Structure 1
Amino acid sequence: MRAALVAAVLLLAACNEAVEGEAVNATGEGTLIDCSLNGAGGFGRDCTLERHEQDNESFVIVRHPDGAFRRFELGVPGRGLITADGAEEAEITDMGGYVEVRVGSDRYHLPIAE
């Protein structure tokens, strides 16, 4: 679990680079990421990732193709990445090169810094 929390904190740097750089979706908003929604078995590059700063706090927003979204707060001392809205907690697994974040029946592959 400790490695996953460290990886989640490292996500902060990777998100900043990704949003400013390469893989931007067709509308120019956010970075395309792999996600598996509503318990689907496979992953598709269907979600977008955006990074936002607000009141000296860093957030990541993952947007679903149907308009739904999840907000995560980054760099929470002792906890790493946490859900910013809702009662369900994020489960984070270090997959080597990315983290898999699970909230309920939704899963997201988020990049981490190398």
Structure 2
Amino acid sequence: MRPSGAAILAAVALGGCQDAGEADARHAAGAAMIDCSLGGAGGFGRDCSMERVEQGGASFVIVRHPDGAFRRFELGVPGYGLVTADGAQQAEVTNLGGYVEVRVDSDRYHLPVSQ
């Protein structure tokens, strides 16, 4: 199920829920920690960070992995809502109620949806 563009845009409204001790030095200041499952791992851990950036009139979400790798997603793309901004693999987005699951290749991310 593909959530609407408005739902995806709402997904990246970052709240102030992060403890300062949670953030790792490898993650950008002001980023929120999110659950992710990398490289086909079976379970999720709060190991990735997410930040929203505006660039050239477009909105992006950057998800950073603990090893320094990252993925960029563009928000508000007509007909899609969220697409992979870099690379050939496209994002699959599933609305799971209070969050959306974004899958690219063998990586999965849980992005929060605000009301």
* TM-score normalized by the length of structure 1: 0.87
Structure 2 unpaired stretches of 5+: none
For 1:4-31, what per-residue CA distance to the aligned partner results, in whole angstroms no more than 9, with x for missing partners?
331x53232342332xx22254244410
Q: In angstroms, what is the RMSD of aligned CA positions?
A: 1.6
Structure 1 unpaired stretches of 5+: none
Give the drift of 1:60: 0.1
Q: Identify if the C-alpha distance between structure 1 residues 42 and 82 changes in structure 2 by more than 3 Å, giving closer, same or farther.
A: same
Alignment of 1:93-112 (within 5 A): 93-112=94-113
1:16 and 2:13 matched? yes
8 A contact 1:35–1:107 mirrored in 2: yes
* TM-score normalized by the length of structure 2: 0.86
8 A contact 1:12–1:74 mirrored in 2: yes
State the one-letter code of the partner of 2:83.
Answer: I
In 1, the alpha carbon distance for the partners of 2:10 and 2:3 equals 14
Give the drift of 1:74: 0.3
Going by fraction, where is helix more abundant, 1 or 2?
1
In 1, the alpha carbon distance for the partners of 2:86 and 2:94 equals 20
Q: Which runs of 4+ in 1 moved over 3 A?
A: none
Give the drift of 1:102: 0.3
**Count of matched residue pairs:** 109
For 1:26-56, what per-residue CA distance to the aligned partner results, in whole angstroms no more than 9, with x for missing partners?
2444100000000000000000001000011
8 A contact 2:73–2:84 mirrored in 1: yes
State the one-letter code of the partner of 1:10.
Answer: A
1:5 and 2:11 matched? no
Hey, what does 1:91 align to over in structure 2? 92
1:64 and 2:62 matched? no
